[in-house]
Structure 1
Amino acid sequence: MEYSSTIHPQVLESIHHHYAGIVEKYRNAYSTWGEDPDEYAPYVERPEQLLDRIQLMSILISDSSAKDELYLNFSCSWDREHGLGVHMKQMKMEHIQGVYTLYDLE
């Protein structure tokens, strides 16, 4: 908790960068399904525009203090089934992926 003011901007910026790389894939999928892509996967210019599109669901803190790892699990508007997982190591961004597949990296 003591690092939350440091972690928050870093995580949001990383999610924004990740989102910019995948948004077109989700927009195409929603269009194919006959749904409005702007509702679920709109184009955004600034990280803050994603705040209403993600919600922190859980935090998993590694039980090994030597690893200094945590996982942030979010629900998100663009991937309502798999969500979004953020893996941090030593308070730095390690990897972003769907919640359920993020743990397969270990």
Structure 2
Amino acid sequence: MSTNGRDAPNMLRWLGKMDKYARSNENPPYVSDYYKGECCLECEAEQEALKFLRKSYEANEEHLFTRSPKVAEFFNAHLAEPKIFPKFEDEEYEDFSFPLRLEYFGKALEQEDEFCCTFLDEDSEETDESSRMRSNAIEFLKQNQEEILTGILAEILKNYPKWQKIYDYPSETKSDFMPGISTPQELSELLELQNIYILDGAKIGFEFSCSWDMEHGLGVMTRKGKVINIGEAEVAFMAI
């Protein structure tokens, strides 16, 4: 499942349908509009992004400026009177991520084999400070990537039927979001690995986007290569 400019119309179609089903009523409309705008911006569909972000901003001005600095900077540049809320004053956003090449992950997930990786400290904050434990975790991941990914996909597949019941997509959209699958290989059509997080204590988190919940995503936390927690995206970067 890719996210680029060419996929923007299809992505918007999915987001529109998701507004009608599943968990879409949990948040006020401006949150949904913000998320759509952020997704469009990631897909390089700037006009669509601006449309949704304006709707979100008109409903709640503060929300937009308390989320992603990238989105805030983009939208601020299109305001007649640009402004920055206090949270962003005198604060520079630092990106500590670095590329990590995992050939087996790329092949099995049908993605490019270079993934975005980030070190996290004990408070789940990004850091550029390496440690022996973090370096060892990266080397362990490289050396055992097939076994690790096999375990992750097996755990996702095991939980998949339960999630199908929770999301309860109607028959006319089920094939788009949560089709019936029986093998781990079929998950490559529904998932995209977005980020890998390296924590101390031999923990490595994996953040996925997924077709059935584009807003909350999917997170998997592993320790010594074994899955210890699975849930929404935040599971991948929570230290506890």
Quote the residue 2:207 is aligned against: 73
4+ residue segments displaced more than 2 Å: none
Q: Secondary structure at the match of 2:195?
A: strand
Aligned positions of 1:5-84 closer than 5 A: 5-26=146-167, 28=168, 30-31=169-170, 36-62=173-199, 64=200, 67-84=201-218
Letter in 2 for 1:89: R
Shift of 1:35: 6.0
Identity %: 28
Shift of 1:88: 0.2
**Could you tell me how far apart the structure 2 residues matched to 1:105 and 1:79 are?**
23
Letter in 2 for 1:14: E
**Could you tell me how far apart the structure 2 residues matched to 1:16 and 1:57 are?**
19
1:3 to 139, 144, 166: 144
**Could you tell me how far apart the structure 1 residues matched to 2:145 and 2:161 are?**
24
1 or 2 for the larger relative contact order (CA 8 Å, sep ≥6)? 1
Larger radius of gyration: 2
Quote the residue 2:80 is aligned against: none
CA deviation map 1:58-89 (0-9, x unaligned): 00000x2xx10010000000111111000001
Letter in 2 for 1:20: P
Shift of 1:105: 7.5
Structure number with the higher strand fraction is: 1
Letter in 2 for 1:13: A
Shift of 1:104: 5.6
State the Cα RMSD in Å.
1.9
Q: Secondary structure at the match of 2:207?
A: strand
**Could you tell me how far apart the structure 1 residues matched to 2:239 and 2:178 are?**
26
Letter in 2 for 1:2: Q
**Could you tell me how far apart the structure 2 residues matched to 1:9 and 1:22 are?**
20
Letter in 1 for 2:196: I
CA deviation map 1:31-71 (0-9, x unaligned): 3xx96121101111112111110000000000x2xx10010
Quote the residue 2:32 is aligned against: none
Structure number with the higher helix fraction is: 2
TM-score computed with the length of structure 2 as normaliser: 0.38
Q: In 2 relative to 1, CA 93–80 (structure 1 residues): closer, same or farther, beyond 3 Å? A: same
- Matched pairs, number: 98
TM-score computed with the length of structure 1 as normaliser: 0.83
